[in-house]
Amino acid sequence: MDADANSSMLVTGGRGFIGRAVVKLLQREGYRVVSLDASAVESGSDCESVREIECDIGNAGELRRTFEMGPIDGIVHLAAILPTAAQRDPGIALRVNVEGGAHVLGMASMFGVRRVVFGSSLSIYGTYAADRVVSEIDRASPEDSYGAAKLYVELLGRSDRGRPGMEFVSLRIGRVVGPGARSTTSAWRSEIFEFLKANHPVEIAMPYVGAERILLVHVDDAAKMLVTLLRAPNLKHSLYNAACESTTVAELKREVEALNPNITVKVGEEYANGNPRQVDFSRFTREFSFATTPMREQLRRAAGS
């Protein structure tokens, strides 16, 4: 996309975990950013380059008013009801994840947005054997409503891709980790970073068995990949697997505990069903010459090592 640094970029879910990282990255690179989220705007959160807007994407009228405020060149669409909350309230998840996604794409087409980057999920693939490396050509078979909603928006976006002047691209992302997630159901994703400087005994509870293999990506790398897709002059594909790291829970436990003897990582009895255990992301890394920072290095930086 040939947008310049004075372009306006819209980030839906801009006050969420990944959204905050994307907004900061776009801001640092000189873009004007519209950060849209259903949560209330904090007093004084606006700055010269970032405009914070409270908006429910499930309400087409509210969303339209955002687009009417001024031209938007590109969108990173991240707003979603996450899996646990979606299970608790399927109605609101349908309204936001499905209808909201359709509204975002519809407004993007109506108002001449040049590119929409969709923050999708590796859960779209469903469960695969631990030794199977999954690529973009493998079948999509989501096992919950969250993954099914992501797949629906992808299909809808690809059907809109052929419209003159509008591009749609999806990034399928693994489990995002890093400080500041504010998660009550998967607190370990942040705690493995936030507790690394603890000077008293702390316990981090992970739900999975030690032998389970999971796909992790640091929030900063996830943001960089989304912005890479937003800025790329040309896209060869409409779908990319995000670069991530496959590790066992036991390996992660050893690494965290070795960095701080005050930490105990308690493993659970669950298996990470509903997701692949290994993924081929060479399409993205090859096309954009992209490399993530190894998780071990991310942890060591957080520990100050």
Mean of pLDDT over the chain: 92
> How confident is the model at residue 257, as a pLDDT?
98
pLDDT per residue as tens digits for the range 181-213 = 888 789 999 999 999 999 999 999 999 999 999
Q: Identical fold at 8-174+219-241 and 176-215+245-272+293-303?
A: no
Over the stretch 270-293, which tens digit does the pLDDT of each residue have?
A: 999 999 999 999 999 999 999 999
Chain centroid to Cα 233, Å, comes to 22
Instruction: Work out the average pLDDT over 57-63.
Output: 95
Q: Identify whether the C-beta of residue 152 lies closer than 8 Å to the C-beta of residue 98.
A: yes
Q: Where are the domains of the chain?
A: 8-174+219-241, 176-215+245-272+293-303
Confidence of residue 44 (pLDDT cuts 50, 70, 90): low
Span 176-215+245-272+293-303 CATH architecture: Alpha-Beta Complex (3.90)
The pLDDT score that the predictor gives to residue 160 is 63
**Residue 127: what pLDDT?**
94
* Antiparallel, parallel or unpaired: β 263-266 and 202-205: parallel
Q: What is the CA 194 to chain-centroid distance, rounded?
A: 20
Which pTM was predicted?
Answer: 0.94
Instruction: Let me know: does 224 contact 288? Beta carbons within 8 Å.
Output: no
Q: What is the pLDDT of residue 43?
A: 58
- In 3-state terms the chain splits into helix, strand, coil percentages (rounded to 5) of 40, 20, 40
Query: Which strand (E) or helix (H) includes residue 68?
Result: helix 60-68
What is the residue whose two structure tokens read 């990034």? Answer: 171
The percentage of residues in the chain with a pLDDT greater than 90, rounded to a whole number, is 84
Residue 140 has pLDDT above 80, yes or no: yes
Does residue 45 have a pLDDT over 80? no
The CATH class of the 8-174+219-241 domain is alpha beta
* Sheet-wide strand order for 115-121: 50-54, 32-37, 8-12, 74-77, 115-121, 167-173, 239-241
